[in-house]
Chain A
Amino acid sequence: MVEATVPAHSQESVNTPKLGMWMFLASEVMVFSVLIAMFLLFRFRSGVVPSEVLNIPLTAINTFILLTSSMTVVQGLSAIQRGDQRKFRLWMILSLLLGTFFISAQIMEYRELIHGGLTISSSLFGTAFFTLTGFHGAHVIIGLCWLLAIIIQGLRGRFDARRNMPVEIFGLYWHFVDIVWILLFVIVYLI
């Protein structure tokens, strides 16, 4: 039998699914760049000071939650790369819970803002805010569905120390969602 060969993980080898994911993320960079530019434009035209309207403490907690979920996803990937199925499942389920908490807190924030009179059609700031954060929230929800699929596949034993590329590809997406939030937290809430 011919020994199976896989490309070595070095500066010289390119993995097609990963390259595809990075290309997709590059297109996402474009989308979010334009949305952020739109937000800044509308925000400065509207003259609203976000810290007076938005709930900074809740969002700060949410930021820590999303950062933690990124850490749990990468720990899950590391566990499956070592072949540790139990830890992989635990870290991934924890990531799912953290992601769900994040999106729940965002819904709470939206409800609070809408009760306070800020809606997507109430002002320029409202339009820009809900479009930008809503688009990010949609990405989180897609990520959660994807993560759920990964967990189900993991429970069925589809991944091991050698077959874990789908987990890594998902991780790239989830970390991208995290870095977008890192920027949004500063641009939308703090500046």
Chain B
Amino acid sequence: MPTHAPNETDVTAAPATAAPHPNYLYVYLSLVVLTAMELAVIFMPIGRAGIILILTTFALAKLAIVVMYYMHLKFEPRLYTWVFLAPAVCGDGRNRRVALVTRLICRVVARREASSLRCLPGPQRTVLLRASILLPGSGIMIEYRAIG
């Protein structure tokens, strides 16, 4: 018998069914190729705006690849994606109307994703949901207002 048998309350144990593993070498090679292309782009005879657009696109593509495949967000509950993207969604918090709309979106998302937290007890689930969805969004609004 294993020394540390996982049980229902053992939150440090890994899930019984592992997510499908992508080929990490291919993922790595795609990141290397995109980085090499970034370096090549800065020597190309194209306008500054074009370079910025291409480099931003490549950087976002690399970011998406790492988040989806190395951080396994593609195979995880969607709640993690919402939590991670909440600050970006609320990025334009300087505008009060935009801030209100994003808060509304956060609430809708929180209700939609409530089913994915069934494994947690009721009060804990509610607190986690509200904190995970609303706090990052509110925080970025405050920070953007301070800097703007």
Contact = CB atoms under 8 A, between A and B. Distances in A.
A118 interface: no
Contacts of B8: 4-6
Query: Which secondary structure characterizes the binding site on chain B?
Result: helix
Contacts, number: 187
Given A4-B8, A190-B38, A175 B70 contact: yes
A149 B119 CA distance: 30
A121 interface: no
A122 interface: no
B45 to A, nearest CB: 16
Interface string A7-46: 1111111111111001101110110011001100100000
Interface of B: 2, 4-8, 10-19, 21, 24-25, 27-28, 31-32, 35, 38-39, 41-42, 51-52, 55-56, 58-59, 62-63, 66-67, 70-71, 75-80, 83-84, 86-88, 91, 115-120, 128, 131-132, 135-136, 139-140, 143-144, 147
Interface of A: 4-19, 22-23, 25-27, 29-30, 33-34, 37-38, 41, 51, 60, 63-64, 67-68, 70-71, 73-75, 78, 81, 160-166, 168, 171-172, 175-176, 178-179, 182-183, 185-187, 190-191
